[in-house]
Chain A
Amino acid sequence: ILNVEQSPQSLHVQEGDSTSFTCSFPSSNFYALHWYRWETAKSPEALFVMTLNGDEKKKGRISATLNTKEGYSYLYIKGSQPEDSATYLCAPYLNDYKLSFGAGTTVTVRA
């Protein structure tokens, strides 16, 4: 069973504040790390697919970093807005034709 851990499980952030959360995964056989945003009543939507150690990706106010040697990735949200409220999922691909998602971090942005 793939050990993908996301922490914290949930967090509340005030509108305008920044926040970050973590995805931990096995570092062996690493091939890629996916991040998705899943809003209520919608389907998951891809944010980033990262492959290189030290990689940093950015989409608007959301960015992510990747450390493949130690097996973790951080997702950052700068200046949180109510529309950022969602569950953020990560999924490592370990070159085994299986893309297993973590349980997610649920972000609630309070106005």
Chain B
Amino acid sequence: EAGVTQSPTHLIKTRGQQVTLRCSPISGHTSVYWYQQALGLGLQFLLWYDEGEERNRGNFPPRFSGRQFPNYSSELNVNALELEDSALYLCASSWTGVGTGELFFGEGSRLTVL
């Protein structure tokens, strides 16, 4: 069974550009979570999607957005990139949207903003 897949694995952007990160959950999982790990910091909660709906978002500016598609895959968009957006972005999926299902993480997308 395929795990959570994320693309791209690495990318380099410049300030002001826009980026889209993609995530495919494990088959049968309906919940997708996005986290950011900036250098020296822990995992910061970004977004939670379940059954196509955004359930909650963390303390990030509106230029961080995303969506979940009918096949439960998801994408994270970051507009007007800033240097501090350089980070590892992790996607995770779960079979349930009520917080009792363990998360399965992808290998992440490492974004560098120059």
Contacts and interface: CB of A to CB of B under 8 A. Distances in A.
Are A and B interaction partners? yes
Interface of A: 1, 31-32, 34, 36, 43-46, 49, 51, 89, 93, 95-104
Interface of B: 33, 35, 42-43, 45, 48, 50, 55-56, 58-59, 90, 92, 97-108
A59 B71 CA distance: 33
Contacts of B35: 101
Contacts of A34: 102-103
Nearest to B33: A99
Contact of B48 (A1, A89, A99): A99
Contact of B45 (A36, A51, A95, A101): A101
A43 B107 contact: yes
A101 to B, nearest CB: 4
A98 B100 contact: no
Nearest to B48: A97
A104 B55 CA distance: 25
B16 to A, nearest CB: 29
A99 B106 contact: no
29 contacts: A1-B59, A31-B98, A31-B100, A32-B100, A34-B103, A36-B103, A43-B105, A44-B43, A44-B103, A44-B105, A46-B102, A46-B104, A49-B101, A51-B100, A89-B43, A93-B100, A95-B98, A97-B97, A98-B56, A98-B58, A99-B33, A99-B48, A99-B103, A100-B45, A100-B58, A101-B35, A101-B43, A101-B45, A103-B42
